[in-house]
């Protein structure tokens, strides 16, 4: 890619659809692989995005994912119009979860989604408003 080139991708994250949950992350992972990005960077991006994608499915009736890839980073924006997060500090704690039992039975809802995003993103921004929705912005640097 040239210096001015930014590759943009857009995905809709469908509501309550565990069947296709993970499709967007898988697709971004493939794109990063094709661009020759380092495997460790791809892993960080894929895990952080997958967690955000799953959260949108579980908690917010889905949403959208917008990805921007330039020569030195990937920015992943997951946006939903769900219930918002009332206490973000609490939600960031490992093990804290508000996921319903049905979702836990599938192996989700361990309270590791947001902590995993924080661990694997080089920068994590969360804008959330109760009743309006949540936007998660994940930046992963290539070097």
31 binds another protein (CB under 8 A): no
| Cβ closest to another protein, residue 110 vs residue 130 | 110
Those residues whose C-beta lies under 8 Å from the C-beta of residue 121, and which sit 6 or more positions away, are 44, 48, 138, 139, 140
Please measure the distance between the N-terminal and C-terminal CA atoms of the chain and give it in whole angstroms.
Answer: 16
Q: Give the number of other Cβ atoms within 10 Å of residue 5's Cβ.
A: 9
Q: Are 28 and 10 in contact (CB under 8 A)?
A: no
Site membership for another protein, residue 36 (CB under 8 A): no
Q: Which of 25, 79, 134, 135 binds another protein (CB under 8 A)?
A: 25
Q: Which string of x and - marks every residue 93-132 that binds another protein (by CB under 8 A)?
A: -------------xxx-x-xx--x--xx------------
Helix or strand holding residue 63 (H, E): strand 63-69
Q: Which residues bind another protein (CB under 8 A)?
A: 18-19, 21-23, 25-26, 29, 39, 43, 46-47, 50-51, 54, 106-108, 110, 112-113, 116, 119-120
């Amino acid at each position: 890619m040239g210096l001015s080139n930014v590759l943009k991708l857009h995905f809709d994250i469908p509501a309550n659809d565990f069947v296709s949950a993970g499709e967007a992350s898988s697709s971004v992972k493939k794109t990063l692989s094709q661009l020759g990005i380092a495997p460790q960077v791809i892993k960080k991006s894929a895990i952080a995005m997958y967690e955000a994608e799953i959260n949108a499915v579980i908690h917010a009736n889905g949403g959208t994912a917008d990805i921007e890839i330039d020569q030195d980073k990937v920015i992943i924006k997951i946006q939903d119009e769900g219930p918002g997060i009332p206490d973000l500090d609490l939600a960031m704690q490992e093990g804290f979860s508000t996921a319903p039992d049905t979702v836990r039975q599938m192996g989700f809802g361990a309270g590791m989604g947001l902590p995993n995003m924080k661990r694997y993103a080089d920068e994590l921004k969360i804008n959330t408003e109760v009743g309006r929705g949540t936007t998660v912005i994940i930046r992963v640097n290539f070097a």
